[in-house]
Each structure stands twice: as structure tokens, then as C-alpha cells.
Amino acid sequence: MRKLGIGVLGVGAMGKRHAENIRRFVPEARLVAVADPAPGRASQLATELEIEHGFLNLDDMLETKDIQCVVIATPDKFHSQSIRAAAAAGKQIFCEKPLALSLPDARAALEVVAGAGVHLQMGFMRRYDPGYAAAMKRIDAGEIGEPVIFKSIGRDKTAPPISEYQSQLNGMLFYNNTIHDFDLARWLMRDEVTAVQAYATVAIRPEVADYGDIVAGVVNLKYGRGAIGNIESYVQAVYGHDIRTEIAGSKGTILVGSIEHHPVTFLASEGSSQKLADHFLTRFEDAYVAEMRDFVQNMLQDHAPSVTGEDGLRALEIAVAAESSYLQSKVINVAQSEGRPAGAGGSNAQGT
């Protein structure tokens, strides 16, 4: 059986999980190499996974024989330049969100991908989660009628250490966490977001504001066909990793990840009346495997990826508009927003 040779760039928590999944659960793929600038990290993982190559940089990995594809799981700041380098080398690409930290950088990456004639898939793994996938099938079948209201909650359990904000390597909350909800907001509603109004707070951790980030945000959405929506993001919920989404339509509603019915539900770090996942890698364990299998199968057949670079760009446009709305305290039309330079803003490496 022909196998897709893959190299993984960036093997922190997310990249390591991708490498493990490719090595153990994607039989159509062969993990050829891993690369990471942190001394010893790539070589240690290469040893653990029993592969030959562990590099310190992308350039060396790209020269390795038998690599047809690169999985990019670096900090957000380096996504665009890594995509461009991999595309220029003629490699197929899977990249974690966000596509970039500014719209000009995102568009530049997509131009290189198009010019090189390679494929790019974005890592919006929630589309592969069994619950979300089942909801999309029911929506496509018309079971809730015309979608009218989108609601989504994304709460991480553990607050990032201040060093992650100081590093300035990742985008602020809207780019690093909420962008998953922005993607779901387009996908599940089958419509484009045209305007946003965002509110945010650092009330329980004011020092985060020094690095251009926030602790929690609420973004109201307006859609092209008249629907509306609301997204809440929070990075230190303490009680668990809590992901919930509802799509209300003209004939009914669908809830994904809702908490079981109890007269009173109590959620806290010391104990809860509900059991929730403690981390995104646990909550979306199956989805990460499913998305990589789908990507590999499409690349082997030279099919377009299921989640494209354009999907990444559309979600980024909403994130940029949301940040602009928060900073300017007004409604922002998505099509009119412009990105800030890559690397600007805060760092929140928890959400994925």
C-alpha cells in the first residue's frame, strides 16, 4: 500500500499529538521526520516514535527524502512563513489554526500555495468531532429548517502561564481559541458572517492586558441571510474543558456537547455534579485522528482537502474584525477589517 510520507514541524503538545496519531493510527501515512527548534525535543520524540529523523529546523526537514507532506504545528506567529516554505518546496500542507496573524500574511500564504499547485488543509478539528459531524448531517438534511441563531461556548480549564503571553508567539484569544467557533459559525450555519460586535474582559487577570490579550470575550454575529449569533470564550474556567454549541432553526434546534439535565448543575475545580474533559486533547481525541486520516486519504488521491485555506482565511477575517470591534468599541463589518502585523498582540497557547 502506498503511504504518504509526512514530516511534522513543531512538536509541542499539539504537534506531538499529531506525530503520535500519524505514527500509530493512520496506516496510510508514514511519519518520516519531526522538527522543532527547541534543543533535543525533536530528537527525543523521534526516538520515542522509532523514526529516523529529528531536526532543528524546517529547511533540513524539507530536504529529507520521502516527505510529501508537512504538518505545521508551530506557534501561530510562524504559520504563514512555514506554509510558504513548504509550498515552495512542493509539499502538501496541513496547518494548525490560525492561518496567520494578519490578513496580508494569510493572503500571501494562500498565493504561494496556489502558485505551487499544492493542497493546504486547516486544522479545524471540531468538524470531525462525532457530535458536530452528526449535527451537520441533520442541518444539511433540513431537519431544523433554516438556521436562525448560532450560539457557542468555548472554555479552557487552565489559565496559560504569564510567560506564554510574554512570548508574543501566539495570537490573542480571538485568533487562538475563538477561531474554532468562528469556523463553526460559518460551517454549521452555511452562511458568511458579515458583521461582529465584541466585548472582552481582563477583570480577574489585569496583567494580561499588558500583552494585548484578554481573559474572556463575547462576540455577537450578524449573517448575510439575516441570522444572528453569539460566541463566548474563556481561558480559565477551572472546572473543565467546556465546549457547547447550539444551532436554532425554523423547525427545531440542535445542541452539541450540552450538559446533562439536572435541577442544579454545579461546576468547580474542587468538584462538580458533571464530569467534563480536562483538556482539549482529551475532548477532541477522536477528532484529531479523524481529521488526519481524512487529510492523508485526500492527499493520496490528489483530492482537495475537506477544510481549505479559504476556510482558514474566512475564520481569520472574523477574528480580525472581532479584535477591531473590541479595541474600537463598535460594530465592525467583516469585509472592511484589516489585519495587524504578524506577531502583534497577545499569546494564549492553551486553545487548539
Cα 193 to the chain's mean position, in Å? 18
Nearest to 342 by CA among 93, 80, 82, 12: 80
**DSSP codes of every residue in 53-114:** EEESSHHHHHTSTT--EEEE-S-GGGHHHHHHHHHHTT-EEEEPSPS-SSHHHHHHHHHHHH
Per-residue cell: 163: 510567560
Model pTM above 0.85: yes
Ordered structural domains, the chain, with CATH: 4-125+288-307 (3.40.50.720), 126-279+312-336 (3.30.360.10)
The candidate with the shortest Cα–Cα distance to 324, out of 219, 167, 176, is: 219
The pLDDT value recorded for residue 262 is: 44
Read off the amino acid at residue 5. Answer: G
The position carrying cell 533540513 is: 60
pLDDT at position 339 is 47
The answer to whether residues 123 and 336 touch, using CB atoms and an 8 Å cutoff, is: no
For 282-315, the pLDDT digits (tens) are 888 999 999 999 999 999 999 999 999 999 999 9
**Complete edge-to-edge strand list for the sheet that includes strand 4-9:** 53-55, 29-35, 4-9, 69-72, 92-95, 120-122
Answer positive or negative: Cα dihedral of 292, 298, 302, 305.
Answer: negative
- Parallel, antiparallel, or unpaired for β 147-155 and 228-234? parallel
Q: What is the pLDDT of residue 283?
A: 81
Beta-ladder partners of 247: 150, 254
For the chain, which ranges sit under pLDDT 70? 258-278, 336-352
HSE-CB for 77 with a 13 A CA cutoff: 14
pLDDT value for 241: 87
pLDDT of residue 335: 73
Q: What is the pLDDT of residue 2?
A: 87
Instruction: Classify residue 346 by its DSSP letter.
Output: -
